[in-house]
Amino acid sequence: MSLITTPLIILLLFFITISTVFIVKQQSAAIIERFGKFQSVRKPGFQVKIPLVDRIAGRLSLKVLQLDVVVETKTSDDVFVKLKVSVQYRVVESKVFDAFYKLDFPQDQITSYVFDLIRSQVPKMKLDDVFSKQDDIAVAVKQSLGDAMEEYGYFIVKALVTDIEPDAEVKRAMNRINAADREKTAAQYEGDAARILIVEKAKAEAESKRLQGQGIADQRREIAKGIEDSVGTLGTVGINSQEASALIVVTQHYDTLQSIGGETNSNLILLPNSPQAGSTMLNDMVAAFTASSKIGEAMQKQNQKSSEVGTIKAEHNTPEEPDMPEEPDTPEFGEFEGE
């Protein structure tokens, strides 16, 4: 008899021990009922209950949980959009009784509140406002949901609008608008860059032309100075200025011919060249200088005579027909070749 009773006693003690003690994990709570009625809330650690009288009705996690809710609605400009709202919530440790007994499925309750709030707020906004004011939407969800769920022992930690997805056609249209706007901005920048390049290039060319003209002016000034020195040197040996100038021109003529002949890549240039070319050129230049000198003297005398006639008319205040200026005798070109 003792051989049968002893194992039964041991088995009964083991069953009683298992039914009496239990462990509650960290960040969780156990609800104990006695004969179907709430008895107590047990905190984390080693706990004891009365076997066959008390039972663990359930356990609740005190950690922060997250629920993702996707809501499809329409904006005020008739664009269908999907919003993904992430709600972070937890059970209030002092209200475990309310969280366990007042609300059976908290996720469904939270989802219903989020749907109601989003579909009452977003239809008042345009699509662009939905993107720019998503933080305001999240704050409104947290505040409204927090007030509603506090009664059931839940605390809303945070509500986040994590995704806004318009209709596919609207998204493509927005992308095209954005791309066109960026292309417009890029074209403006490219136009400004091209304009600046043209202006700077024109400034550089103007500066180059100015420096080139200055160089040419300096060159001609030095040439004139050299010619003046040459004329002065020739004047010391009894050669007048006209003859000296003609001599310098003839010398430059032959220097030019020599330079052309020495250049291998020069184009073909036809110039009159004969043994009498130098003498003819010199005579022509001397004749031209003499003719221009006489014409200048005649014009100077005529201008002086005209001024004297005008003075006499002004003194007598009598309108008279102005004397026609006599035509100066223009010497013919051949008359000065022998001089």
Q: What are the tens digits of pLDDT across the range 175-200?
A: 888 888 888 888 888 888 988 989 98
- The region of weakest confidence among 54-58, 141-145, 210-214, 278-282 is 278-282
- Residue 255 per-residue DSSP state: H
**Rounded Cα distance, 46 and 66, in Å:** 29
Domain final residue, candidates 61, 93, 108: 61
* pLDDT tier for residue 263 given thresholds of 50, 70 and 90: low
Domain final residue, candidates 135, 166, 197: 166
Q: Is the pLDDT of residue 96 over 80?
A: yes
What per-residue confidence (pLDDT) applies to 317?
52
What per-residue confidence (pLDDT) applies to 271?
60
- Overall number of domains in the chain: 4
What per-residue confidence (pLDDT) applies to 229?
74
What per-residue confidence (pLDDT) applies to 333?
37
Q: Are 217 and 247 contained in the same domain?
A: no
> Which contacts of 183-186 are long-range, i.e. CB under 8 A and separated by 24 or more positions?
none
Q: Are 306 and 217 contained in the same domain?
A: no
Mean pLDDT of 310-334: 51
* pLDDT tier for residue 325 given thresholds of 50, 70 and 90: very low
Domain at 152, CATH number: 3.30.479.30
Domain final residue, candidates 37, 61, 85: 61
Q: How many residues does the chain have?
A: 339
**Which three-class secondary structure state does DSSP give residue 122?**
helix
**Rounded Cα distance, 54 and 29, in Å:** 16
What per-residue confidence (pLDDT) applies to 330?
44
Q: Are 45 and 73 contained in the same domain?
A: no
Across the chain, what does the average pLDDT equal? Answer: 80
Q: Are 261 and 303 contained in the same domain?
A: yes
Q: Is the pLDDT of residue 266 over 70?
A: no
Owning domain of residue 94 = 65-166
Q: Are 152 and 174 contained in the same domain?
A: no
**Rounded Cα distance, 138 and 158, in Å:** 8
Q: Are 72 and 156 contained in the same domain?
A: yes
